[in-house]
Amino acid sequence: MHSRRRFLQTCTAAAALPHPASHAAEPAKPFSFILLGDLHYDSLSHHDMKWLDAHHGGDLSQINNYSRLTAEVMPGMFAALKQRIASLRDSAAPPAFVLQVGDLVEGLCGTAELSARQNREALAFVTQSELGIPFVFTKGNHDVTGDGAKEAFDEVLLPYMAKEARKLDSTATHTQANHTLTQGDSQFAFFDAYDKTSLEWLEAVAAKRTAKHLFVTIHPPVVPYGARASWHLYAGEKTKSQRAKLLDILGQQQAMVLGGHLHKFSALTRNAGGKSFSQLAVSSVVSSLNQKPKDILHGLDTYTGDQVNLEPKHSPDTAAQRRDIYAAERQQVTSFEYADTAGFAVITVDGAQVTAAVHSGSQTEAFQTLKISV
């Protein structure tokens, strides 16, 4: 009897002790990251001018401009980013990495050799800027545009993607531009908008998700904004079903989409999949370090077809079609912000809340701070 009583007492005492497996997981520590839009790193020496004239003659003025901005403005921009990163190191949410949303380079070089050179020089610029944290990015259309560009992407940019991702997440091994990494309680899915298998890949990622937050980096917008309403992903008539599926995935996951492509700032939320998701777009094609935002649109009442008037010279023959896109889309959009500006954003992840401080040029004061978690 005594032995049985002693056994029961021992079991009761043991049950009262905390079991290692039953410990509540410690809350993930807050962190931040720098969000960069399109960069279009370029130099005239990267281009076969005969090829360019024959195949993309209309892009020469753009290439001249991006080459000038790369030489004259980008170094100052990255110096400012380095200072900003240093200032955040002792904050409650120290910076973990820089995330760039695609079009790291201008492309349109004309040969695989010149494309590889452009890629290497762009990465050398990033390395020499000594930002002090990993630099991760997704694939943009310019990164793979031009003869030999796709091969150069696989040869130069893809291995760099993998190397930087592994600095943050040792399990982040990949051989394609579609990849994920985990930071704290957040998962980051880098979506290759130029691969036909990407939608199924994202669906599989969503199905296995366990992280509190899901960020999806997609170069072109999912939800249209600005004058170029037809420049969003799966915009064509033949890809309507793909867009519907993508919207459902993003909504069901209450994802935060990060992108660029249109060289403007925009933030919005959209209903989809019975829930909603957010989209944040920035540009980092900075023409002046002290630039100020213009064409500011604020509030849902400004998400109308009148956005086509922001760029009146852009494809005037499609204005009516673009207005129709907005007439349909605004039924699901629940918030909207827009400005013509370029710079960077500081995204802060703190528990359930994710905020974005958006900066114009290299200015230290944000021109807008908003919540992007839904």
* pLDDT over 90, % of the chain: 91
> In sequence order, which residues have a C-beta less than 8 Å from that of residue 67 and are 6 or more positions away?
42, 43, 44, 106
- pLDDT 10s digits, 311-363: 999 999 999 999 999 999 999 999 999 999 999 999 999 999 999 999 999 99
Task: Tell me what pLDDT residue 16 has.
Answer: 39
> Which among 118, 374, 148 is positioned nearest to 257, based on CA atoms?
374
- pLDDT 10s digits, 161-202: 999 999 998 877 677 999 999 999 999 999 999 999 999 999
Q: What is the dihedral of CA 309, 310, 312, 316, to 10 degrees?
A: -70
For strand 179-183 and strand 186-191, is the pairing parallel, antiparallel, or unpaired?
antiparallel
Distance CA 233, CA 72 (A): 32
Q: Considering the domain delimited by 28-371, tell me its CATH architecture.
A: 4-Layer Sandwich (3.60)
Task: Tell me what pLDDT residue 25 has.
Answer: 57
- pLDDT 10s digits, 115-152: 999 999 999 999 999 999 999 999 999 999 999 999 99
pTM of the shown model: 0.92
- Mean pLDDT score, 74-90: 98
DSSP class of residue 153 equals I
Contacts of 320-323 spanning 24+ positions with Cβ under 8 A? 321/230, 322/227, 322/228, 322/229, 322/230, 323/229
* Collapsed DSSP state (helix, strand, coil) of residue 213: strand
- Mean pLDDT computed over every residue of the chain: 93
Residues listed for the chain: 374
- pLDDT 10s digits, 230-280: 999 999 999 999 999 999 999 999 999 999 999 999 999 999 999 999 999
- pLDDT 10s digits, 36-47: 999 999 999 999
The rounded Cα 95 to chain-centroid distance in angstroms is: 16
Residue-range domain boundaries for the chain: 28-371
HSE (side-chain half, CA atoms, 13 Å) at 162: 11
Task: Tell me what pLDDT residue 316 has.
Answer: 96
Which is more confident, 58 or 23? 58
Q: Which amino acid is at 369?
A: T
Task: Tell me what pLDDT residue 175 has.
Answer: 75
Structure tokens at 194: 């130029």
| Burial class of residue 76, CB neighbours in 10 A (0-12, 13-18, 19+) | middle
Structure tokens at 201: 């890949």
